[in-house]
Amino acid sequence: MATTMVLQSYYIHVVIIFMVAMSTGFKGTEAAPRAFFVFGDSLVDNGNNNYLATTARADAPPYGIDYPTRRPTGRFSNGLNIPDFISRELGAESTLPYLSPELNGQRLLVGANFASAGIGILNDTGIQFVNIIRIYRQLEYFEEYQQRVSGLIGAEGTRRLVNGALVLITLGGNDFVNNYYLVPFSARSRQYPLPNYVKYLISEYKKILRRLYDLGARRVLVTGTGPLGCVPAELAQRSVNGECSPELMRAASLFNPQLVQMIQQLNGEIGSNIFVGANTRQMSINFVNNPQAYGFVTSKVACCGQGPYNGLGLCTVASNLCPNRDQYAFWDPFHPSERANSIIVQQIMSGNTEYMYPMNLSTILALDSKN
Ligand SMILES: *[C@@H]1O[C@H](CO)[C@@H](O)[C@H](O)[C@H]1NC(C)=O
Ligand SMILES: *[C@@H]1O[C@H](CO)[C@@H](O)[C@H](O)[C@H]1NC(C)=O
């Protein structure tokens, strides 16, 4: 009893000191931006693969040519990527890659990026890249992260940080491009017809999202695949006259609606709108079909690459490089340019329910700021 009293009065003292400090001391200090955690593949990796022995990397020029430092960072972009633009909307600095040695101390409170280029929903996706951080490993790192943060702000503080955070997860594209369709007669394509494969992916994705919830995530943006069949790499390999690859278009058009259904179902089971679907395929199709309306000169030819549509091989110093990256929807054979990324994030912020289901990020931010 006595101990409790002492503890309580100590607590009250701390609260009073804190309130006095708030009202007098550091004037104008707003609440710290909410933390941000990122999981997934190369669309959202901001440099974890730099620390790994893998060929799936973006740590050499001309990657990063339009980044503020003009240097490659590991982002698969000429400049900023989707998570960077989301961080800006949160009023936060960009998250560091989880494997970065600079991610320590107070910087941990900003959040972390666990994504790794080449990975997919399935453990056997991207095996040709050897050493990448598969999704279950990313989730283990998230647990490890929480232990580290507990050392700074305690278990309760960590729980609040994680529950209050925004989470982004981007998976699925590689399960088609770097698995099912990687080679003709791939093991997965012999095992499943496409519709059954998509069902299997969705059921595995659901387990991953459940796990994220169990680890404390309470606001999760889940992106679908991009317009897989229309990226310069697929135009170069599969297209006859520059039209999008029908098989990959079909894959994306099966996957994305089922993803939204699964999200609805999962939110129903949990009893809360934890997961929010971002229809990045629809967002990208708009500028793929009508690049001029978005100020692009082309959505077929990559800025950096070689061969038809600059869609073959990797983007390296030896590749063709366009002078103005803002005029290209695709930076390299697979990845959107910085400007395309910013358009995608604008739609994540303010899109209607055709793009963001059940709500857009501005609604999320408004709702959560009231809690
Ligand atoms: C993938 O690997 C994780 C952990 O290594 C395991 O828990 C999970 O069941 C595996 N998924 C499948 C579909 O085998
Ligand atoms: C964001 O979503 C809300 C709710 O669906 C909607 O009212 C609002 O118009 C959307 N924002 C914009 C800019 O469209």
Task: Tell me the domain boundaries of the chain.
Answer: 1-30, 33-369
Rounded to the nearest angstrom, the distance between the alpha carbon of 188 and the centre of ligand 1 is: 16
Q: Is the CB of 136 under 6 A from ligand 1?
A: yes
Q: In this structure, are strands 166-170 and 220-223 parallel, antiparallel, or unpaired?
A: parallel
Q: Name the DSSP class of 329.
A: S
The residues annotated with a catalytic role in the active site are: 42, 332, 335
The residues with which 167 forms a beta bridge, in sequence order, are 37, 220
**What is the distance between the alpha carbons of residues 65 and 75, in angstroms, rounded to a whole number?**
11
For ligand 2, atom 13, the nearest C-alpha belongs to: 350
Q: What is the 3-state secondary structure (H, E, C) of 189-227?
A: HHHCCHHHHHHHHHHHHHHHHHHHHHCCCCCEEEECCCC
Which residues contact residue 254 at a Cβ distance below 8 angstroms, ignoring those fewer than 6 apart?
194, 195, 198
Quick one: which atom of ligand 2 is closest to the CA of 351? 14
Q: Reduce the DSSP state of residue 312 to 3 states and report it.
A: strand
pLDDT for position 41? 96
Phi, psi of 93, rounded to the nearest 5 degrees: -75, 165
* 356 Cα to the center of ligand 2, angstroms: 9
Quote the ligand 2 centre to 345 CA distance (angstroms): 14
**Rounded to 5°, angle at Cα 86 from 210 and 302:** 100
Predicted pLDDT of residue 27: 36
User: Ligand 2 mean position to 363 CA, how many Å?
Assistant: 7
Residues of the chain with pLDDT under 50: 1-29
Amino acid, single-letter form, for residue 287 = F
Distance 51 CA to ligand 1 centre (A): 23
What is the Cα 361 distance to its own chain's centre?
14
Give the tokens for residue 73: 């960072």
**pLDDT at position 170, please?**
97
Measured from the CA of 353, which atom of ligand 2 is nearest?
5
Q: Give yes or no for residue 350 CB within 6 A of ligand 1.
A: no
Q: Are 327 and 297 in contact (CB under 8 A)?
A: yes
Closest CA to 133 of 229, 53, 242: 53
**CATH class of domain segment(s) 33-369:** alpha beta
**Ligand 1 lined by 59 (C-beta under 6 Å):** no
Cβ–Cβ < 8 Å for 219, 276: yes
> Is ligand 1 within 6 A of the CB of residue 140?
no
Q: What is the per-residue pLDDT across 9-65, written as a single tens digit (0 to 9) for each?
A: 444 444 444 443 443 334 344 578 999 999 999 999 999 999 998 999 999 999 999
Residue nearest to atom 1 of ligand 1 (CA): 123
Ligand located closest to 356 CA? 2
pLDDT attached to residue 240 = 83
| Residue in 119, 121, 136, 188 to alter for ligand 1 test, most ligand atoms within 8 A of Cβ | 136
Half-sphere exposure of 84 (CA within 13 A, CB side): 22
What are the structure tokens assigned to 308, written together? 């038809």
Would you give the distance in Å from CA 220 to the centre of its chain?
10
Residue-level pLDDT at 22: 41
234: number of Cβ within 10 Å: 23
- Nearest bound ligand to the CA of residue 350: 2
Q: What residue owns the CA closest to ligand 1's atom 4?
A: 136
Nearest ligand atom owner, CA of 349:
2
Could you tell me which residues come within 8 angstroms of residue 289 by beta carbon, excluding any fewer than 6 positions away? 299
Residue 205 CA to ligand 1 centre (angstroms):
11
Which residue CA neighbors atom 10 of ligand 2 most closely?
350
User: Computed from CA positions of residues 323, 94, 98, 256, in that sequence, does the dihedral angle turn out positive or negative?
Assistant: negative
Does ligand 1 come within 6 angstroms of the Cβ of 203?
no
DSSP character for 128? G
Q: Which residues contact 273 (CB under 8 A, 6 or more apart)?
A: 267, 358, 359
Residue 248 and residue 231 in contact, taking contact as beta carbons nearer than 8 Å: no
| Minimal-distance CA residue to ligand 2 atom 2 | 360
CA-based nearest residue to 63, from 345, 311, 333: 333
**What is the Å distance from ligand 2's center to 360 Cα?**
7
Which protein residues are within 6 Å of ligand 2, measured from CB? 350, 352-353, 359-360, 362-363
Q: What burial class does residue 148 get, using C-beta atoms within 10 Å of its C-beta: 0-12 exposed, 13-18 middle, 19+ buried?
A: middle
Contact of 131 with 98, CB cutoff 8 Å: no
Q: 39 - beta bridge partners? A: 169
The DSSP secondary-structure symbol of 132 reads -
Check: CB of residue 146 under 8 Å from CB of residue 111. Answer: no
Q: Among the bound ligands, name the one nearest to the CA of residue 348.
A: 2
DSSP string, 239-291: -SSSPPPHHHHHHHHHHHHHHHHHHHHHHHHHTS--EEEE-HHHHHHHHHH-G
Number of Cα atoms under 13 Å in the Cβ half of residue 148: 16
User: In which order are the strands placed within the sheet that holds 36-40?
Assistant: 111-113, 36-40, 166-170, 220-223, 275-278, 356-357
